Structure 1
Amino acid sequence: MIALPSPDEMYQALLDKNSQYEGVFIVAVKTTGIFCRPTCSARKPKYKNVEFFSSTKDALTSGYRACKVCRPMKDYQSSPEWLEPLLKLVEDEPDKKWKDYELTKRGYSPSRVRRYFNRTHGITFQAYLRMSRINSAFLKIKEGQTVTRSAFEQGYNSLSGFSETFKNMTGFSPGTEGQIITINRVQTPLGSMMIGVTDEGLCLLEFTDRKMIETQLSVLKRRMKSEMVTGKHPLIDAVSTQLDEYFEGTRKVFDIPLVVPGTEFQQKVWNALIEMPYGITRSYKQQANVVGDVKAVRAVARANGENRISIIIPCHRIIGSDGSIVGYGGGIPRKQWLLKHEFENQ
């Protein structure tokens, strides 16, 4: 991997709109949540509000969205003509889920689009859309709806408690219930992860590029009757610290309180995962036996896939009966890395 120039050099290139740095770095603006080319013509941010990445993929997985002014998802001065209308459609409808059949209906070959994004940005077209939607949602959560933000800023960790107080004071209810989930991101050696906590415990720890993360967020909000705000929380700091220790090889057991709403069977599966020793693997069949139903192999696999707390609830330790490394929401390469890491640090 080629090292990036110094931050000072890259920032000066940004101010100068120096085209010689195209393809060398991507600049992201913390205050707006967008990432740009070095030659972007938009108003220049302050030095303290930028961070630099070597690729669009890194900027996306760190929570940023593509700039509509300089359009960094295009090849610099060479984006293929056939792709231009699709890129424009995506920019105009950033929340739309483009299915393969819709691409075909509009005259695009899904495989051709996928190859272009893989070659140019190192991710598939669908992964780009998914990360863009998540990053847009993250920004909206950060901005906060009035009721949720008010409750959070006034120190309430329960929307129902805030609603009741508000009703007693004003005579009417703002219509809130449930808890507030504070979310933020943390960088790990395996990529960006999203953390979600309440005052009771950790309820979300997922890789931001996981295919199921949108579904996981939706399920979590529904089951906990919650709203989400971005912010700081002592428990987020604790999780981040323990993750650092895990990746350094000095922590083998986590002691973070967990909040894991789910069915009785899911709870049994997740508890069995938590009790698995560090560096040990089991097959899905063996795990089904631990849970108490040797015939429930598929149900165990499904519950593993619905786990919302990666690494700490170590579903990566479950492998195929033949020893193959299969079935991990964060991707097989990450599962291989985690198993190798634990084996080497036992």
Structure 2
Amino acid sequence: MINDESLKEQYYKALLERNSKYDGIFFAGITTTGVFCHATCPARKPKYENCNFYETAEEALLSGFRPCKRCCPMSYPKEISPLVHQMIHLVEEHPEKRWKDADFSELGFHAATARRQFKKIYGMTFVQYARARKMGIALKSIRTGEKIINAQIDVGYDSSSGFRDAFSNIMGKAPVNSQKVIILYASWIDTKLGPMVSIVDEEFLYLLEFVDRRGLEREVEQMRNKLNASIIPGETKISKQIENELKNYFNNKLKKFETPIIFFGSDFQKSVWNELLKIEIGKTTSYKELATLLNNPKSVRAVGNANGANQLSIIVPCHRVIQSDGKLGGYGGGLERKKWLLHHEKNYKK
């Protein structure tokens, strides 16, 4: 989401004027209707405070907005093929669906053709679009704290089944007379680097990730399946604690994260994550140095994989691990965020 006030004002002015020069430059998410639009949308213009602005359609989708039916923002440029039109329509009809090559064949076209056409127009694959739409549905409910039925109506489904299935495929079905199902609570946290989602119970933080992290959907599904858990929108003292600590962290006021956490992974992964917790703010280490600390100098690649599997972003500071030559290396939240975090911590005032 774009947070620069001057840029937001510029985009809002373009939205009011229906300035065609800005079509494809930004997408406006309208919080009162739950849709996202192009600059030239003919619908009645919203108030400034009800607008969020995004650089890509994927960001708008992940924030829980659906394409506006008036301006059809996913139909830009206008010369998109009937095939792509059909694919977008199918996602809206079945947001819960997991698309496979065989599904495209049944529709009478080749999967590779569909992927190529979609990627060319939108800069993301059709599967990315479908996943972002489904994930956005789940995240919208978390972000707003609405009851499922209210959120279902808001996103525009005539039947609750599509919304319910899309949500439950990620977060788990609501428990029905079962004492073995664990209930976890998910909440939305706005930060200077973009929104994050936390998943907690009454005692521990299980997951903290940026909502646009690649693979977040898979992380959540794997966690709830392993724990036999259902995840519902809500807050506990733990989610409130981590939200407050993150606020202090971004304002240079936090000495140490105190939120109780719990690890889910192999013994080796846990050993890597525990070493990460020892890296002080403002300091960095390398994958090779981590492997040496674990008395296994040849495990550099395994250390990198464990680093990437970390589900507690910022708290378990995998962003403080760089390559031996000083290059940043990878980061699940994106290299720009890693660069920002390291710069922020370098100038951190304890």
Within 1, Cα distance between the matches of 2:122 and 2:344?
31
Within 1, Cα distance between the matches of 2:62 and 2:348?
28
The reply to whether residue 3 of structure 1 matches residue 4 of structure 2 is no
Query: Normalization by structure 1: what TM-score?
Result: 0.73
5 Å-filtered alignment, 1:136-147, equals: 136-138=137-139, 143=147
> How far did 1:38 drift?
7.2
Q: Hey, what does 2:165 align to over in structure 1?
A: none
Count, aligned residues = 310
5 Å-filtered alignment, 1:232-243, equals: 232-243=235-246
Cα pair 1:27 1:37 within 8 Å, conserved: no
Range with greater deviation from structure 2 (99-108 or 199-208): 99-108
Task: Find 2:247's aligned residue among 244, 247, 257.
Answer: 244
Task: Find 2:30's aligned residue among 28, 31, 37.
Answer: 28
Structure 2's unaligned 5+ residue stretches are: 150-174
5 Å-filtered alignment, 1:72-83, equals: 72-75=73-76, 79=80, 83=84
Q: Hey, what does 1:313 align to over in structure 2?
A: 316
Give the SS at the match of 1:86.
Answer: helix
Task: Please report the RMSD computed on the Cα atoms of aligned residues, expressed in angstroms.
Answer: 3.8
> How far did 1:199 drift?
0.9
5 Å-filtered alignment, 1:90-101, equals: 90-98=91-99
User: For 1:244-283, what per-residue CA distance to the aligned partner results, in whole angstroms no more than 9, with x for missing partners?
Assistant: 2222233242111112233322222111111111122211
Give the SS at the match of 2:209.
Answer: strand
Q: Hey, what does 2:286 align to over in structure 1?
A: 283
Query: Normalization by structure 2: what TM-score?
Result: 0.73
Partner amino acid for 1:28? I
User: For 1:87-117, what per-residue CA distance to the aligned partner results, in whole angstroms no more than 9, with x for missing partners?
Assistant: 3333333334456898782462645532321
Q: Hey, what does 2:110 align to over in structure 1?
A: 105
Q: Hey, what does 2:120 align to over in structure 1?
A: 115
Within 2, Cα distance between the matches of 1:251 and 1:228?
29
Cα pair 2:272 2:307 within 8 Å, conserved: yes
Within 2, Cα distance between the matches of 1:328 and 1:25?
26
Q: Are residues 248 and 101 of structure 1, via their aligned partners in 2, closer, same or farther at CA, if it must alter by over 3 Å?
A: farther
5 Å-filtered alignment, 1:171-320, equals: 174-320=177-323
Cα pair 2:27 2:36 within 8 Å, conserved: no
Structure 1's unaligned 5+ residue stretches are: 146-162, 164-172
Q: Hey, what does 1:345 align to over in structure 2?
A: 348
Range with greater deviation from structure 2 (203-212 or 54-63): 54-63
Cα pair 1:34 1:66 within 8 Å, conserved: yes
Q: Are residues 185 and 209 of structure 1, via their aligned partners in 2, closer, same or farther at CA, if it must alter by over 3 Å?
A: same
Range with greater deviation from structure 2 (283-292 or 52-61): 52-61
User: For 1:164-196, what per-residue CA distance to the aligned partner results, in whole angstroms no more than 9, with x for missing partners?
Assistant: xxxxxxxxx812424321111122222221111
Range with greater deviation from structure 2 (252-261 or 45-54): 45-54
Within 2, Cα distance between the matches of 1:107 and 1:254?
46
Give the SS at the match of 2:218.
Answer: helix
Cα pair 1:282 1:317 within 8 Å, conserved: yes
Within 2, Cα distance between the matches of 1:339 and 1:245?
16
Partner amino acid for 1:208? V
Within 1, Cα distance between the matches of 2:207 and 2:141?
18
Within 2, Cα distance between the matches of 1:33 and 1:260?
35
Give the SS at the match of 1:328.
Answer: coil
Within 2, Cα distance between the matches of 1:252 and 1:75?
47
Partner amino acid for 1:255? E
User: For 1:3-29, what per-residue CA distance to the aligned partner results, in whole angstroms no more than 9, with x for missing partners?
Assistant: 334999899x5xxxx755884762423
Cα pair 2:41 2:70 within 8 Å, conserved: yes
Within 1, Cα distance between the matches of 2:305 and 2:223?
17
Range with greater deviation from structure 2 (98-107 or 224-233): 98-107
